[in-house]
Homo-oligomer: A and B are copies of this chain.
Amino acid sequence: MPTSTREALVAAATDLLDEGGPERVTLREVGRRSGVSHNAPYKHFTGKQDLLAAVAARELDAYAEALRAGGHDGGLSRAVAAYVARALAHPARFRLVYGPWPAGVGQLGEAAERAWTSLVETVSAEQRAGRLPVTIGAVRLADLIRSTVHGAVDLELGGHLTKHEHGPASPVEVVEDLLAALRRD
């Protein structure tokens, strides 16, 4: 039972996104499920895109928490594994988050910033502990890891990654290969 109309709208939009992707999300159905008219959302959001940005920002916060908690508990591998698990659990949200936003909606830029700051910190800590090479700066190394993680998840969601018989989920495997190569340096 949502405490406010605004919350109900975001929840309904998230449910619809999970059910059938972005084209399933219509302001009319969102209103219907929230018990308001089809244009009540305009009192809480500037339009459909703004509502979807709220959904995306919320998911980015979940990414930030997964990366932070995983990094605190067990270092880089755990942080990445927690992030990958979250991303694969909600594919439509992942694609929304990294989808085509016109010139950075601002709200999203800040949330993305928060999400990845902790990864740079985790990378930096592993460098100081001698578990990652120091021949590359932490930010640049984080960009490499981030690219591989993002690409592996996105390819996996599209069914473009080679399937293996045993072992963990493919994206985790890909990232482990990267980390192994980096640590062999």
- Chain A residues with CB under 8 Å of chain B are 21, 92, 95, 98-101, 104, 109, 112, 133, 136, 139-141, 143-144, 146-152, 154-155, 157-162, 170-171, 174, 177-178, 181-182, 184-185
Contacts and interface: CB of A to CB of B under 8 A. Distances in A.
Contacts of A101: 158
A98 B184 contact: no
For this chain, the copies found in one complex come to 2
Given A98-B154, A146-B151, A150-B155, A162 B140 contact: yes
B178 A98 contact: no
Nearest to A92: B100
Contacts of A98: 154-155, 158, 160
Find the residue from A99, A157, A181 having the highest chain B CB count within 10 A. A181
21 contacts: A95-B100, A98-B154, A98-B155, A101-B158, A140-B162, A140-B177, A143-B152, A143-B161, A143-B162, A146-B151, A146-B155, A146-B160, A147-B147, A147-B151, A147-B155, A147-B161, A148-B148, A148-B151, A150-B155, A154-B154, A181-B181
